[in-house]
Structure 1
Amino acid sequence: MIELRKITEDNIDEVIALEVRENQKDFILTTNLRSIADAYVLNANGEPAIPFGIYTDGVVVGFLMYTYDTLDHESFENEVFYRKKGYFIWHIMIDKRYQGKGYGKLAFEKMLVDIEAMPYGEAEYVALFYHTSNLTAKTLYASFGFSESGIVQDNSILAIKNLDEK
């Protein structure tokens, strides 16, 4: 059973210590530590950022984080979601010791259920970036209804899910 737990002083060191495999490091745009620091800054600036440890049977196996903000980057200017409030999946990873067991998919599903409840405000879209050569991520996100937008930044492609379509 997968459980998402907020980051606290009791689990922060374990979450920071998680690592992906060497051949996956190019797929990760930021570290867990940096994401937690970003969450602190974003929250201080009034932008909800929600970091979680991913647990199974009391053991931390991964990390994820999402935010709630306006999707207003200039590269989104011609998109239907431009300047609309939305959820953004900032980071998700499963430690190298626990990959291939389905934990990432289960955690992603649990996070989407949380997002679809719109805990921080209404939104039509949820967005994320993934590395263009990460076929595992592409397949996972497509299975949950994410569509590639055609926007590529720093070797990562933006994928969008309309929250009205379950």
Structure 2
Amino acid sequence: MSNVKLVELNLENWYECCKLEVSSEQAEYIESNAISIAQSKFEPTLKPYAIYFEEKVVGFLMYNSVQEELDGHWVYRIMVDKEFQGKGIGKAATNLMISEMAKLPNVKKIVVGYHPENLGAHNLYSSLSFIDNGDRFGNEMAVIKHLNE
């Protein structure tokens, strides 16, 4: 999907990211973008990005640029505004994020955690070859994508 791109969070797009919303059914599964943006200011290894579709901010994602649990680099957030869901934007943005993360030094695994009842997240990560090895962190399951070495 060539009309989807990631842009590092900046002065021009941070507020648009704060205004984005997921559906009411998804809201219990994800922190607000404002909280994620604040977290990135206190944890400098976190990399926040706006997701653009046809030059409009429609989503937000954030990942850690250093290795953590399960010897992987973690995706902290990924969301697409409720008005733009179901169009393949989340999958395209996730693929772009994986490509960005693969450029980091020594990345072998990308890990993302999500609530087991979040079927949208489950379908997205399954379609991108993330594997559930049974790892659990609190109420979340962690799935892993192994990158080719």
CA distance in structure 2 between the aligned counterparts of 1:117 and 1:9, rounded to whole angstroms: 25
1:56 aligned onto 2:58:
no
Partner of 1:78 in structure 2?
Answer: none
Equivalent AA in structure 2 for residue 40 of structure 1: K
Q: Contact 1:87/1:123 (CA < 8 Å) preserved in 2?
A: yes
Q: What are the superposed Cα offsets for residues 21-47 of structure 1, whole Å, 9 maximum, x if unpaired?
A: 11111221x21111111111111xxxx
Matches within 5 A, 1:4-43: 4-28=6-30, 30-43=31-44
Q: CA deviation at 1:114?
A: 1.1
CA–CA separation in structure 2 for the residues paired with 1:11 and 1:124? 30
Residues 101, 107 of structure 2: 8 Å contact kept: no
Cα offsets for 1:70-109 (capped at 9, x unmatched): 324xxxxxxxx4xx3x321000000011111111011001
- Asked if 1:138 is matched to 2:135, the reply is no
- What 5-or-longer segments of structure 2 have no aligned partner? none
TM-superposed CA distance for 1:69, in Å, is 2.5
What is the aligned-residue identity percentage?
34
Hey, what's the Cα distance between the residues in 2 that align with 1:135 and 1:128? 14
- Structure 1 stretches of 4+ with a deviation exceeding 3 A read none
Q: Which residue of 2 aligns with 1:75?
A: none
Which structure would you say has the larger Rg? Answer: 1
User: What amino acid is aligned across from residue 94 of structure 1 in structure 2?
Assistant: V
The alpha-carbon deviation at position 117 of structure 1 amounts to 2.0
Unpaired runs of 5+ residues, structure 1, are 73-80
Query: Which residue identity does 2:116 align to in structure 1?
Result: T
**What letter matches 2:35 in structure 1?**
R
Q: Deviations over 1:90-136 (max 9, x none)?
A: 00000011111111011001111111222xx2122111101101122
- Give the RMSD, CA atoms, in angstroms: 1.5
Contact 1:87 1:126 in 2 (8 A): yes
Q: How far apart are the structure 1 equivalents of 2:127 and 2:8?
A: 26
TM-score by length of 1: 0.82
- Is 1:122 the counterpart of 2:92 in the alignment? no
